[in-house]
Amino acid sequence: MSEVLTQHAEALQSHFGDRLQALTLAVEEITIDVAPDQLVGVCTDLRDDLGYEILVDLCGVDYSQFGRDEWATNETSATGFSRGVEPASMGRLTFGDELETAIDEGEPRFASVIHLLSIAQNRRLRVKTFAADNSLPVVPSVSEVWASANWYERESFDLYGILYSDHPDLRRILTDYGFVGHPFRKDFPLVGNVEMRYDPEQKRVIYEPVTIEPRVLVPRVKREDHRYLDGAEEA
């Protein structure tokens, strides 16, 4: 880890103290975890005192399946559509199914993650805040600190259902106004819950229950092939 980055991490810890829940320094990146009630104040200081003038990105994250893998590619057979798969992801869910979560009860599930850039200092920083309530995730809006957060927070609300308090115009931005659910949540079926088509008799778009079966492609499994072995390996 570079000495400059380590010094900056120490400066951040010194500046914010107990206002940070955690500070992580890994793969040449700094991530700070901030409680929702401290988020706006910390972000304001980052902009005004520490030179992070640009919000590059803001996104939601659903940690309900974090660290869980359903692909057993080392032990699969050579045939079968779902070979080597233990159904444990949203791809095989249908409407009404429940997904077994990988996090313990009471652990926060939804996070809002902000990526910042300081052009003057040539530094980047990740700021993460977890919503306290998994059933109704709410975190403060930072659109008053960086105006570019406005549409990013709308996208996070649309796709993950994370509510941003004090947002000036929180509404869907990618899905239709009548869309049900939040498609990037891990318990949302990949095929969706409804399908739409244009009805020429009614002369409008109508919604119907989804008729296609959930289907997820299986990743290619590499196996040893004697045709590509050299003499030593074959022996």
What CATH number has the domain bearing residue 74? Answer: 3.30.460.80
The Cα-based distances of 30 to 35, 102, 115, 117, 146 in angstroms read: 17, 25, 10, 12, 20
pTM of the model: 0.79
pLDDT of 223? 58
The Cα-based distances of 32 to 1, 40, 92, 127, 217 in angstroms read: 17, 14, 35, 5, 36
pLDDT of 17? 94
Q: What is the DSSP string of 206-234?
A: EEEE--SPP--PPPP-----GGG--HHHH
pLDDT of 69? 64
Burial classification of residue 227, based on how many CB atoms lie within 10 Å of its CB (0-12 exposed, 13-18 middle, 19 or more buried): exposed
State the residue range of the domain holding 31.
3-234
pLDDT of 208? 87
One digit per residue, pLDDT tens: the chain, 235 residues?
688 899 999 999 999 999 999 999 988 899 999 999 999 999 999 999 999 999 999 999 999 888 776 665 555 555 554 555 555 555 556 656 666 777 777 789 999 999 999 999 999 999 999 999 999 999 999 999 999 999 999 999 999 999 999 999 999 999 887 788 899 998 887 778 888 889 999 999 888 888 877 665 555 555 566 665 666 655 5
Number of domains present in the structure of the chain: 1
pLDDT of 216? 57
